[in-house]
Amino acid sequence: MPNTIEVSNITKHYGTREAVKNVSFSAKSGEIVGLLGPNGAGKSTTMNIITGYISATSGSVKVGGFDVLDAPEEAKKRVGYLPENPPVYNEMLIKEYLSFVCDIKGVKPSTRKEMIKKATDAVKITGMEKRLIKNLSKGYRQRVGLAQAMLGSPEAFILDEPTIGLDPKQVIEMRSVIRELGKENAVILSSHILSEVSAVCDRVIIINRGSIVADEPLKTDKKSKTIKMSIRVKGEKEIISSVLSNVPVFERVTPVASREKGSFDFEITGEADSCIREAIFAALSKNDMPILVMRPIDLSLEEIFLRATGGIKQ
């Protein structure tokens, strides 16, 4: 499946400050990518560069194969963008605003009515078209903003805090809309709500201090998934560590602590298809070291985020 969004080595300077440093990643059709990071990490700058709102100091961005700087009109019409503050006009009726957006995006008059109907149905504002935008709640303005992003049938969506201001029921409905968009389009979603990212995203990219510090799948084939095991072994720490460190299929062996007298805990990382359970058992049984506990560790998105941004020491 081809990449709809390709970000290649982008860097952005604001005077002497480097807001984004050599960032590269891609997003393909049918994939929802969560973009996370602390405040000031460079998320908004990255999204603004992808949409062509600002230019990078160096590097390039392509959308649907078109460079955002070299072919801005072709690239931008392939992106549906919902910023954190929806770009709506308060004095317009919803139907007037969406028709205006169709004009801007060059939607043909023959397809306009059907396209607007599809967008309003998707975000559940059908029947509200004659309401003045300034009289809408923040949540409904957010829906109108997403509807405008859908007009023009873009190939990719950039969504910055798409559920901000929504009540719990509306959040669930918005997640459903985003999942539908992600079935055929590339979606990059930025959010401070980690449970939201876990619920809808296939992959998460974490930016810290302008650089990508993690790029992890959230929904993946178990056959290719890197797994981590926690074990408790009876014996001397140095000898156990030496035995485990000499097993080729282990990517990392980390001593954790001693929680039981005469034994030590370790975390072992390896590929699922390398049968690390069998390798652990074989190595330790060969050296007469009893395994007292063995269990898989599934890191939560919160743990991945904190470790990647320095919140938890590894």
Sheet holding 291-297, edge to edge: 250-255, 263-271, 226-234, 291-297
Q: Which two tokens stand for residue 299?
A: 């890191």
Please identify which residue in the block is written with the tokens 């903003």. 145
Q: How is domain 222-308 classified at the architecture level of CATH?
A: 2-Layer Sandwich (3.30)
Determine how β-strand 263-271 pairs with β-strand 31-36.
unpaired
Give me the pLDDT at residue 223, please: 42
Extents of the domains making up the chain: 3-217, 222-308
pLDDT score for 39: 85
**Residue 99 CB contacts under 8 Å (≥ 6 apart), including other chains:** 112, 116
Q: Answer yes or no: same fold for 3-217 and 222-308.
A: no
Question: What are 278's two structure tokens?
Answer: 């069998």
- Contacts (Cβ under 8 Å, ≥6 apart) of 124: 143, 173
Domain 3-217 sits in CATH at 3.40.50.300
What is the structure's pLDDT at 195?
79
Amino acid at 277: R
Sign of CA dihedral 177, 163, 29, 201: negative
Residue that the structure tokens 């140095």 belong to: 238
pTM of the model: 0.73
**What pLDDT tens digit does each residue of the chain (314 aa) get?**
467 999 999 999 999 999 999 999 999 999 999 999 888 889 999 999 999 999 999 999 999 999 999 999 999 999 999 998 888 999 999 999 999 999 999 999 999 999 999 999 999 899 999 999 999 988 899 999 999 999 999 999 999 988 887 888 888 888 899 999 999 999 999 988 887 888 899 999 999 999 999 888 886 444 445 678 889 999 999 999 999 999 888 888 988 877 788 899 998 888 766 678 888 999 999 999 999 998 877 666 777 777 777 765 44
In sequence order, the 6+-apart residues with CB closer than 8 A to the CB of 194 are: 36, 301, 302, 305
CA-nearest of 37, 50, 43, 51 to 20 is 43
